Structure 1
Amino acid sequence: MDPATRVPVGRPARHTEYMRIRSARRSDLPLLQDIERAAGEPFRALGMAFVADDDPPPLDLLESYRQADRCWVATDPLSATGDRPLGYVLADPVDDALHIEQVSVDPCAARRGIGRALIAHLAELASARGMAALTLTTFTDVPWNAPYYARIGFRILPEAELTDGLRTIRAEEAEHGLDRWPRVCMRRELTPTARTPAARPSDAVTVSGGT
């Protein structure tokens, strides 16, 4: 078994569980596609069927992230779901930051702090690597997009602060059709931390408490 981080994560009904965050395995990848399809469905109720119907990342792309140690999953090994992924995150180094390419949580596991735990894991890794920030692009008016990220420390970047890498990402998104709805780039500054020699980007993390 690979090393893991376990974090207490709060669930609304006075329940505390230990969420395990680990590097993705090849056998996880089809499950990540299922999570992505399910996570897209709530967009349909907002009139964003184009987003809901968008294909999940192809297996070869997910495999490239896995091989590069840039794909992590969250599991709840003490629950009935066991080591099955409940959420996942993909990240790329972009300019001086670690860019969150995708973070998705299965709706059946919503409101348990899984997305927040995955992002906290990325923040720790990025800080240990001496990176200055986390960045992402997201929809401005979707409640679980920009407003959510603002609550966990991200700020909207004005046009003048966009880096070359973020401009490239936004251009690719526009070409894909995502600019049918307002989108923004967001950034969360990080404080560099000393990294212990034993720490590795692929190590799993356990997180606890909070949402």
Structure 2
Amino acid sequence: MHHTLNLTFRVAVPHDAEAIRTIEFEAAQRFVSVGMTGIADAPPMELALVHRKIDAQQIVVAIDANEACVGFVMFEPQPTRFYVQELDVLSAHAGQRIGAALIEQVAQLARAQQITQLILSTFREVPWNAPYYRRLGFRDIEEADLDTVLLARRDAHIAKGLDESKRVFMRRDLV
């Protein structure tokens, strides 16, 4: 079967908030297949947080031909880079390069602000995490090369109960 990607990308608006939370929750269910049920069981982001990120124009959504939101990327501008906080696509739309296109949207926004680096933290072994991001041009950052901002982020993950030994920070330089 051949699907034409009839998608548009735009900065999220307030009425996207519930769809974003639904996509986040649905995407998390994939972690059951790799035994990471804690992630699947976690509630989606608080609505207030989603609205704050929307107001700050820090979420980009993928909209299909039926005006439905099928994926999103959420990011946080830092002085010299954009930190990609979350990237989720509905499983029914997986494998259509929507995630890659969403990352590209963030890269374009970054370049427009003379930002030359994207950064993220993800699971090392989960197939749709680090191996996926490597295909999108991200490279692992060695632990010795983590700066204070990323070390603080790692400590926050540990405080939340994430197993940082299974995670890796990655960067993509925008040239």
Contact 2:63 2:69 in 1 (8 A): yes
Pick from 3, 6, 24: which aligns with 1:36?
A: 24
Pick from 159, 165, 183: which aligns with 2:149?
A: 165
91-100 or 145-154, larger mean C-alpha shift: 91-100
Residue 159 (structure 2) aligns with? 175
Paired with 1:167 and 1:127, the residues of 2 have a C-alpha distance of 25
Deviation at 1:53, TM superposition (A): 0.8
Bigger share in strand = 1
Bigger share in helix = 2
Residue 104 (structure 1) aligns with? 88
Deviation at 1:181, TM superposition (A): 5.9
Equivalent residue pairs, number: 175
Whether 1:49 aligns to 2:37 is: yes
User: Sequence identity of aligned pairs in percent?
Assistant: 37
Whether 1:59 aligns to 2:47 is: yes
In structure 2, the CA distance between the partners of 1:173 and 1:19, relative to structure 1 (3 Å rule), is same
Find the structure with the greater CA-based Rg.
Answer: 1
Q: TM-score, normalised by structure 2?
A: 0.95
Residue 203 (structure 1) aligns with? none
Give the gaps of 5 or more residues in structure 2.
none
Residue 131 (structure 1) aligns with? 115
Q: TM-score, normalised by structure 1?
A: 0.80
Provide the secondary structure at the position in 1 that maps to 2:57.
Answer: coil
Give the gaps of 5 or more residues in structure 1.
1-12, 192-211
Provide the secondary structure at the position in 1 that maps to 2:4.
Answer: strand
- RMSD, aligned α-carbons: 1.2
Deviation at 1:74, TM superposition (A): 0.2
Pick from 146, 151, 154: which aligns with 2:138?
A: 154
